[in-house]
């Protein structure tokens, strides 16, 4: 799995940080700042949930 987070779309809702704190953080502007773009297997279900919860569709994942 590879994550692409589009900071231009991010509205700082923090849903991704709440559901997958090991993978997503926010910078000082409140915008998404991934901790890693290649999450460990145990974190992947939470990453998929973050994709669904993000209100601005700012997170994309490549499952390969």
CB of 49 to ligand SF4, least distance (A): 11
CB of 64 to ligand SF4, least distance (A): 21
Closer CB to ligand SF4, 7 or 40, in the complex: 7
Q: Does residue 4 contact residue 42 with C-beta atoms inside 8 Å?
A: no
35 binds ligand SF4 (CB under 6 A): no
Burial class, 13, CB count within 10 angstroms (exposed 0-12 / middle 13-18 / buried 19+): middle
Q: Residues interacting with ligand SF4, by CB under 6 A? A: 5, 10-16, 24, 26, 32, 54-56, 58-59
């Amino acid at each position: 799995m590879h994550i692409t987070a589009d900071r231009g779309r991010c509205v700082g809702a923090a849903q991704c940080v709440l559901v997958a704190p090991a993978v997503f953080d926010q910078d000082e502007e409140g915008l998404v700042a991934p901790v890693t773009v290649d999450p460990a297997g145990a974190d992947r279900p939470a990453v998929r949930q973050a994709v669904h919860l993000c209100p601005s569709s700012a997170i994309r994942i490549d499952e390969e």
